[in-house]
Structure formats: C-alpha cells, structure tokens
Structure 1
C-alpha cells in the first residue's frame, strides 16, 4: 500500500461522522424550540461542581439559530478534515479535545453558562494548524495554510472583545488543539524523504555525486563499457558519382 493510501484513505466516516455530529446539535436545538425547553443551564458553569456537566453537554447546546448556524459549517468542514487527514487519531483528538476544552473553560471562564460548539471548533482549528506545521508533510502543511486562510480571522475572538461571546471557551479550545498537536505523534503521516535523507544513504553510490571530484569540480564520468563501445563504432562513408546532365556533356 502506498503512503498516500495508508494515511489519506477516504471512507464514509470522513463525511458521516461530521454530519452525525452536526445533525445531533440541530436535533437538540429543534427539541428545545418544539417542546419549549431551555438547556442553557446545562452549559459549563466555571468553578462549580454542577457546572462540570457542561463539559459533556455544552457543545450540543446553542442560544439561538444564528449561534447554531455560525457553528455548523466550521464544525462540519474542520471535523471532516480531521477524519480524512488524521483518521488514525481523529476520535482521540475529538474526545480528548472536547473534554480538555471544557475543563479549561471551567477553570478560566466567567461566572456564566458557557454553551456552544465553538470551543470544539477552535480546538480543531488549533490542532489542524499546528500539527500540519510540526509534521513537515507537504499535504498537512498545505492543510494548515488552507485552514488559516479560511478561518484565520477567528483568532481575534480568543480575546475579550465581545461580552456576549465566550472568549474563554475559544481560548481553551485553541490551547487544547495546540497541546494535542504537540503530544500526539503516532499514526501521523511522515514527511517524504529524499534518498540522501535516508539512513541507508551511501554518498559513494550516489550517481549524481560521482560526477564531482573531491574538490567539488564537475567531471564527466563515463563508464569503461561506454568508452569501449564508443571506440568500437565505425563510420563508413559511401561516395556516388553525380551524373552529368546533357548540357554539361555537350560543353565538354
């Protein structure tokens, strides 16, 4: 199996799991609206025992339709990228990331109910960006730049610029993502190595380096068999007398 097939193999889970996650949060919101429930109290309430339940419940709870919609597309796209490019660690990143993001929010947050999947989105953003740079794999580096290009403006919301936004949850998410990026090392696509980067590389057997002497001067390195073949080449010329036309014959 080729390297690209081993680490970047498409499966139904790449699309199915993100769609399932998004579907659940929409169903929860529909249930609230349809039956008149308010699940906001199940969010993360910092530094209280009962507030710890929000570590598990808060990603599925949203304040209104705008809050839900703004989280839907980033969650769908970033989680799909996670399951395709890091499929061997996707569930680990998602489960551990949700837990750590919620715990950090519980420690850092203001006394309020912190709800929404934005902390998970920032966690995915942090992981995809930092991990791609660390691995030095061309595909994953490209993914890092794409993520920054599309969602780089989110970084401003890790600062307290809007009292209605849980910047603590955003900050907790991006810190958690970066932490996971630096700690998870197994099951990641290794960077493609050139032959001269291999442990078994022998400079004396390098066909390119054979064209240079010990001083770095270029030399024409022709094998003895080629020299013998060239010396054995014989060029045979055949001459044919050109026929004279009738006018030339008469003038003579």
Structure 2
C-alpha cells in the first residue's frame, strides 16, 4: 500500500508547490485557469486542478482529495489513475464547453468527480467492498455533493465545475464498472 500512496502524495505536493511558487514569485499563475470557450482556456483543462485562490482553498481541496484518492487507489488499484485522468479531462472539457464565463481554478471538480465515481461504482458493482466505500463516501461527502452542485450565482465558487466534475465521475464510473445482474 505504501507504493500506491506515492502518486497521491506527489499530486498533492505539486498542488502545494504551485501555490507556494505563486505566492513567492508572485506570478499570478491563476491566469492559466480554465476559461470556457476560449483558446487560452483550453490549457486550463489540465492546469485548473493545480491552481488555487489561496491556502484556505488549497486546504479545502487537499483534505477530501487525500481521503478520496486513498479510497480510489485502495479500491481500484492500478486502474485508479486512468479514472483520475478521465475525471479531470471529462470535467474540464464539459466545463470548457458549457461552464459560465469565469476563470475556474481548483481541484474541486476532481473532488466531486471522485465522490460521484465511488458512489456510482458501489451502486453498479454491488460487491461488499465497493458498497462499503460508496456508503462511507456518501456519509462523509453526500451533503457536500448535493449542496456543491446547486447554482450559486454571484459567487466565486465554481458550482458548475462541481457539477461537471460529478457528471464526469458518474460517466467514468459507469464506463469502468460492471453492473451485477
């Protein structure tokens, strides 16, 4: 299990290093966020999860990512990282195509995608381990999932990023799991 934790730690470390560099240099790296329907915004599909508005924003994504990535790696093994990539790309493309006009930053799309993914897999596979993970995720993050996708107009929170992350997690969950008869 130690070996499987390294990629999680590296992903989170990169997020923290990007935030620290942005503070120390100040380079305004957040300009490289996802901007829907713009050529420059396409780059944001890959950079958005690594950019955060501040340390509070980063912490609010780090804690759930640590839990959700840990559960994903523990339950999916070597198949966890294609799942993560699928959620990042899927949610980014959906947000780029249909998101509201704003500069979207942060890893919460991945957080919401992993929540939806783990619940979807538990429902579809109907195996004890998958169901247990789905119930745990639903207990820990169900309220967050529900309230996080409700439109909050005038807010700087990317509710549409949350929504497209959840949709992407649902799609990846359906595509990568088999339903039991």
Q: Aligning the two structures, in what range does the TM-score lie when normalised by the shorter sequence?
A: over 0.9
Secondary structure of 1:116's match?
A: coil
Aligned mate of 1:161, from 152, 156, 168:
152
The TM-score, its normalising length taken from structure 2, stands at: 0.94
Q: CA deviation at 1:161?
A: 2.6
1:75 corresponds to: 65
Q: Which has the higher contact order (CA 8 A, sep 6+)?
A: 2
Give the distance between the partners of 1:117 and 1:19, measured in 2 at CA: 15
Q: CA deviation at 1:131?
A: 0.4
CA RMSD, aligned part only? Answer: 1.7
Give the distance between the partners of 1:172 and 1:94, measured in 2 at CA: 14
**1:96 and 2:86 aligned:** yes
Q: How does 1:151-190 map to 2 (within 5 A)?
A: 151-155=141-145, 156-161=147-152, 163-185=155-177
* Consecutive unaligned residues in structure 2, runs of 5 or more: none
Find runs of 4+ consecutive structure 1 residues off by over 3 angstroms: none
Q: CA deviation at 1:11?
A: 4.8
Q: CA deviation at 1:152?
A: 1.1
Q: Is the 8 A contact 2:124 2:177 kept in 1?
A: no
Q: How does 1:1-252 map to 2 (within 5 A)?
A: 10-13=1-4, 15-155=5-145, 156-161=147-152, 163-185=155-177
Q: CA deviation at 1:75?
A: 0.7
Q: CA deviation at 1:185?
A: 3.4
The TM-score, its normalising length taken from structure 1, stands at: 0.68
Q: Which protein has the bigger helix share?
A: 2
Secondary structure of 2:43's match?
A: helix
* Consecutive unaligned residues in structure 1, runs of 5 or more: 1-9, 192-252
Larger radius of gyration: 1
Secondary structure of 1:73's match?
A: helix
